[in-house]
Structure 1
């Protein structure tokens, strides 16, 4: 029997296009806290971090209690957005086919995301993806990226060695997490950080589409992460 192998996906910027909703929710949170208006480019930069850590980056001068308050206000704003009929967080092109291809090739699938578990379940509901992922690691019960905890916990939960794991993500945080966990990192070009950043953070490869993903991921198995 072939040894188990797993591909772990980031969510925002990798599987779904959620930038508009994230920027809108953060803008509303800042308005609620009378902080002015955040630069959308700055908000884009922190997508992938856990929420309080994201607020720390956006508001480096603020005390911890304000970071936590902004994070709670953001959660409320995002919950309200989910109720709007026009709210969309579409899958990026090729995602569903890639998931089906990976499963057909015998890969286990997992998630490692800065989203809350509630947010992940909302995404799975919206796109009928429940049951696809054997391990779901979120910021609710793990250290935030780039700490390697999410990947190490995914390995422990599934019994898959980190040498048989590939992390797929769109940000430097994803690639740094993979490198710290000694996992091969595969970057995607359509997300929220640039190609050079992904390579510098340790991506073994950056792809422009999910075409032939099973073969590409298989080529990374057993290769040491980029230093």
Structure 2
């Protein structure tokens, strides 16, 4: 296994258990404009994209004006649900603390807006927790590798020393496009069956599995440096 230095995490469905809020908000916006409601599997299939790209995938027939009104309706509804931050998945807090203490550098690459991510980070008192975060509205949406390229450049880490962890095909395809390894998260928006064709180097159904997989390498490297 490569000696990874930098771990890049998706947010929704990977660190935060927010998929149900996203599904509800899409359905609320669709109802507001009398649009046919997508089923839950369709909505889960676009989680990870930037919001404009997600709306276009669900409703390609919408003109730009209605798509923007849909975006605002979605954001308004999501905000009403976001009076408390979505909970983090079991093992995330302990796992990230252990990985950071072991010397791994942590980053986030998300389809959320910058405002949405900052609100989520503040809700967990994590404003300065990650070395760098990149959001879809300030760079290219997944699966374009631009946000990963920007993270790697800012951190000064080569692609083969970084690992992308995500629960959507867009995460794994983005990693492939950036020539990075990826971990498939099966407890979030999409199933491992959907993610497996992208050849992840690890599949997990609990966050603790990532910690256990990475920590032996850290211990070995630490001993070699003594």
Q: TM-score under structure 1 normalisation?
A: 0.87
1: distance between equivalents of 2:217 and 2:112?
Answer: 26
1: distance between equivalents of 2:199 and 2:64?
Answer: 30
2: distance between equivalents of 1:153 and 1:101?
Answer: 25
1: distance between equivalents of 2:149 and 2:69?
Answer: 30
Distance 1:5 1:44, change over 3 A: same
What residue number does 2:11 align with?
Answer: 11
What residue number does 1:39 align with?
Answer: 39
- Kept in 2: contact 1:12–1:48 (CA 8 A): yes
Q: TM-score under structure 2 normalisation?
A: 0.88
* Structure with the largest fraction of helix: 2
Partner SS state of residue 138, structure 2: coil
- Number of residue-to-residue matches in the alignment: 216
2: distance between equivalents of 1:46 and 1:183?
Answer: 22
What residue number does 1:25 align with?
Answer: 25
- Kept in 2: contact 1:49–1:114 (CA 8 A): yes
2: distance between equivalents of 1:42 and 1:121?
Answer: 27
Moved more, 201-210 or 43-52: 201-210
Shift of 1:39: 1.9
- Kept in 2: contact 1:105–1:214 (CA 8 A): no
- Kept in 2: contact 1:110–1:135 (CA 8 A): yes
Match of 1:158 among 137, 155, 163: 155
What residue number does 1:135 align with?
Answer: 132
For structure 2, which runs of at least 5 residues remain unmatched after alignment?
Answer: 219-226
Distance 1:197 1:88, change over 3 A: same
For structure 1, which runs of at least 5 residues remain unmatched after alignment?
Answer: 222-227
- Kept in 1: contact 2:52–2:71 (CA 8 A): yes
- Kept in 2: contact 1:102–1:213 (CA 8 A): no
What residue number does 2:67 align with?
Answer: 67
What residue number does 2:76 align with?
Answer: 76
